[in-house]
Amino acid sequence: MDSKAIRARAQEYVEQEQNESFRSEVEALLKQNNDDELFERFYTDLSFGTGGIRGVMGGGFNRMNPLVIQRTTQGLANYLLEHGIKDQQGRLSVAIAYDSRNNSPLFSSTAAQVLAANGIHVYLFSSLRPTPELSFTIRELGCTSGIVCTASHNPKKYNGYKVYWQDGAQITPPHDAGIISQVKAVNGPVKSMDFQEALDKGLVEYIDADMDNKFVEMVKRQVVRPDMLMKGPHDLKVVYTPLHGTGTMMIERVMNELGISVSIVPEQRDPDGDFPTVEFPNPEEASAMKLALDLARKEDADLVIGTDPDADRVGIAVKSGNDYVLLNGNQHGVLLTDYMYGSMKELGTLPQRPAFINTIVSTDLQRKIAAKYGAEVFETLTGFKWIASKIRELEENNGPRYVMGGEESYGFMIGNEVRDKDSISATVVTIEMALYYQQKGKSLLDRLDEIHGEFGLYQETLISKYFEGANGVGIMNGMMAGLRENPPAEIAGIAVSSVRDIQDGTTLDIQTGSKKKDIDLPSSNVLQFILSDGSIISARPSGTEPKIKFYASVKDEPGKDLDESRKRVQEKIDGIESFIESVIAAAKN
């Protein structure tokens, strides 16, 4: 696309963008003849992926701004008008929430104005709320769809727009493809209604305290041992950080009602879309947890908890001696799985046919623990929309009842009343779990060691690589093609037993060369290499950007000295990481 075409698109944007702040950015770039920046903003449109849109905020068709929100929402409205399921009031309705990011209130009201102009009823929160509350609200009100304005844990310059369906889960086939098609078809001005007029006509309705109360009661229903929590006061010391996000209002309220005292990091307590104390507001990042760990050391806390801006992910650190150990998502999930299924079985509250669900790149240890307590175990593609889809399938077929599940990227879904990652419920159950083991004279790390002693030590690693430049996607695709056509016979000196190809649903036996179709999952560009010692390496490229992730889960046999197991497992991890780095280097050359 040449400079003339880029400037024509920029002028089109200026003519259609009604927000002065975003419009003036592009006007200034045109006056400055800043062709490089104009190219970045207009060489393509910000694409609606399988769950929504996300990008850098600013003026332009390749940026997050009110005009892009309007066009996206018009596409969603067109799809709902044709395929949407009416609510109990006999109308199409959409619930909208937003987090603490800059422009989130503007983007949410912009979406509401478009929906109202299309005759679709909008339930809108008047201030920020956690993403899991949006999922709960859709189900509670029987809405046709839902929207949350958030970029999750991305840096401050980003914002996003995620779409949900009537079951409270992010959109899956066929709705994702249908909405994408409608969004792409939108061109030029869209329908929009004055916000106050929409309120006056009852097309936009605020929902706040009533839904908050119902959400809090739902969270408290996930507690396994309510009597233990309510017996307080307790000695457990907890430090919590919302990382300038939405988590404080719900977590503080729930814990107060349950009688648990939590110290909140003061510098990160209040919502702030600039995230002034962190580079990445992500509890997966050790740097994001620094202030919480500093406060924990000062207060001699037992447990540290952090949630991301829209409060769907949660990370924890546990006191060990005079310092703290950050647990990864797999380890946290292992502890939650063990505590919930084990405790519910002991208390007689486990369903007759319990179900456990996690993703193909999450540790197999969680599935083994759940199976030990009698759960039927299922795996899905990466992403909570697939976990929610499996829950819906089980419900529709009178199958086993879902209890909990999760994925390695610090996301957990406790119970079945929310159909997305829910850090609020997970935080409450994590605090309950820590208190339970404290009363038994143990820490969460002690319990994790006991689990590893029984099942063997499991350890995971993740390597993520971004391929920059115009050839990035081609390099990544070439790497995947090479791994498919010529799979390695061994990795880090360990024989490869089989290769699972999720794209065509087959498993290749390396020794015999035979291939069988035995994978019952939606097609996805994922390869899994199963090693002879039970280790698993997964390769998963992004479908929206030139980035690939390699996941590795390594294990040692049970009954071994844990210190010796850690050495052996780390050696395997080091070897696997070297192999992955060599594959990446070869693809780039």
| pLDDT per residue as tens digits for the range 450-470 | 999 999 999 999 999 988 766
pLDDT reading at 306 higher than 80? yes
Give the whole-angstrom CA distance, residue 168 versus residue 137: 8
Task: Report the pLDDT value the prediction gives residue 224, as an integer from 0 to 100.
Answer: 97
Which tokens is 433 given?
Answer: 């779990």
First to last CA, the chain: 28
**Pair (535, 468) in one structural domain:** yes
Domain membership flag for residue 404:
yes
Please name the residues in contact with 303: beta carbons below 8 A apart, sequence gap of 6 or more. Answer: 236, 237, 238, 239, 316, 317, 318, 319, 430, 431, 434, 444
Q: Are 98 and 69 in contact (CB under 8 A)?
A: no
**Pair (57, 190) in one structural domain:** yes
Q: Which of 104, 108, 109, 152 is catalytic?
A: 152
Peptide bond into 266 cis (omega under 30): no
- Report the 3 state secondary structure along 45-83: CCCCCCCEEEEEECCCCCCECHHHHHHHHHHHHHHHHHH
Report, as an integer, the average pLDDT of 39-51. Answer: 89
Which tokens is 371 given?
Answer: 């199976």
Domain membership flag for residue 59:
yes
CATH of the domain at 250: 3.40.120.10
Domain membership flag for residue 13:
no
**Pair (223, 201) in one structural domain:** no
Domain membership flag for residue 2:
no
Please name the residues in contact with 191: beta carbons below 8 A apart, sequence gap of 6 or more. Answer: 74, 77, 114, 117, 118
Please name the residues in contact with 301: beta carbons below 8 A apart, sequence gap of 6 or more. Answer: 237, 238, 239, 263, 295, 319
Task: Report the pLDDT value the prediction gives residue 208, as an integer from 0 to 100.
Answer: 95
**Pair (201, 283) in one structural domain:** no
Report, as an integer, the average pLDDT of 165-170. Answer: 96
Q: What is the pLDDT of residues 88-106, one digit of tens each?
A: 899 999 999 999 999 999 9
Task: Report the pLDDT value the prediction gives residue 470, as an integer from 0 to 100.
Answer: 64
378 pLDDT band, cuts 50/70/90, is: very high
Report, as an integer, the average pLDDT of 3-7. Answer: 95
Q: What is the pLDDT of residues 559-575, one digit of tens each?
A: 999 999 999 999 999 99
Report, as an integer, the average pLDDT of 294-322. Answer: 97
Domain membership flag for residue 27:
no
Q: What is the pLDDT of residues 384-405, one digit of tens each?
A: 999 999 999 999 999 999 999 9
**Pair (93, 185) in one structural domain:** yes
The percent of residues in the chain predicted with pLDDT above 70, rounded, is: 99
CATH of the domain at 570: 3.30.310.50
**Pair (448, 469) in one structural domain:** no
**Pair (509, 462) in one structural domain:** yes
pLDDT reading at 64 higher than 90? yes
Domain end marker among 180, 207, 234: 207
332 pLDDT band, cuts 50/70/90, is: very high
**Pair (544, 414) in one structural domain:** no
The percent of residues in the chain predicted with pLDDT above 90, rounded, is: 91
Three-class secondary structure of residue 507 per DSSP: strand
Task: Report the pLDDT value the prediction gives residue 547, as an integer from 0 to 100.
Answer: 86
Number of domains in the chain: 4
Query: What is the CB neighbour count within 10 angstroms for residue 217?
Result: 12
* Cα→Cα distances 530→277, 498, 501, Å: 41, 5, 11
Q: What is the pLDDT of residues 536-557, one digit of tens each?
A: 999 999 866 678 999 999 999 9
Domain end marker among 427, 455, 483: 455
Which tokens is 495 given?
Answer: 């024989």
78 pLDDT band, cuts 50/70/90, is: very high
This prediction has a pTM of 0.94
Report, as an integer, the average pLDDT of 189-193. Answer: 93
Residue 152 annotated to the active site: yes
* DSSP string for 459-493: EEEEEEEE--STTHHHHHHHHHHHHHHS--SEETT
**Pair (489, 371) in one structural domain:** no
Strands across the sheet containing 354-359 = 376-380, 354-359, 401-407, 411-414
**Pair (574, 480) in one structural domain:** yes
**Pair (243, 106) in one structural domain:** no
Give the whole-angstrom CA distance, residue 332 versus residue 169: 23
Give the whole-angstrom CA distance, residue 11 versus residue 266: 45
Task: Look up the domain containing 504 and give its range.
Answer: 458-588
Give the whole-angstrom CA distance, residue 407 versus residue 210: 31
**Pair (74, 197) in one structural domain:** yes
Give the whole-angstrom CA distance, residue 585 versus residue 589: 6
Which tokens is 55 given?
Answer: 């990008």
Query: What is the CB neighbour count within 10 angstroms for residue 88?
Result: 9
Q: Check residues 466 and 171 and name the one with the higher pLDDT.
A: 171
Domain membership flag for residue 20:
no
pLDDT reading at 229 higher than 80? yes
Domain end marker among 291, 315, 339: 315
